[in-house]
Amino acid sequence: MSAEPMPQPEPDAPQPRLKLAEDCAAREHELVLNKNGQQYVFRCAYGKEHDLLLRLADEVRNPNTDLDWFDAAVLSHQMGVKLKERLDERNHGPRRPTPRP
């Protein structure tokens, strides 16, 4: 298990309070939530979605974070959308942009 170093934000930028990348061999999924000037980033390899959701639930229960169950629902939905896109690509090939009239 190794954590990837995160890029350093500009000095005036708000510092994220939480960035989870442990237990993730590849940066396949990236879920991002911006809340109250904080950016929460969760990354996980395909197949490790359950572990990411467990870590997210732990963070919601942590009194030192601003995350709540609504935030967890938003991030969970975001992951579901990404999983659906991945399955659609696997079954039907890459998605082509829809031409706009």
pLDDT per residue of the chain (101 residues) written in tens, 0 to 9: 334 444 444 555 444 444 444 444 445 778 889 998 889 888 888 888 899 999 999 999 999 989 999 999 999 998 898 888 888 888 887 666 677 77
The pLDDT value given to residue 4: 45
The pTM of this model reads 0.60
Residue 87's Cβ-count burial label (10 Å; 0-12, 13-18, 19+) is: exposed
The pLDDT value given to residue 73: 93
Q: How far apart are CA 82 and CA 43, in angstroms?
A: 12
The pLDDT value given to residue 5: 46
* Contact (Cβ atoms closer than 8 angstroms) between residue 43 and residue 27: yes
Buried b (16+ CB within 10 A) or exposed e, 12-26: eeeeebbebbeebee
Structure tokens at 49: 């979605």
Comparing C-alpha atoms, which of 17, 52, 20, 55 is closest to residue 38? Answer: 17
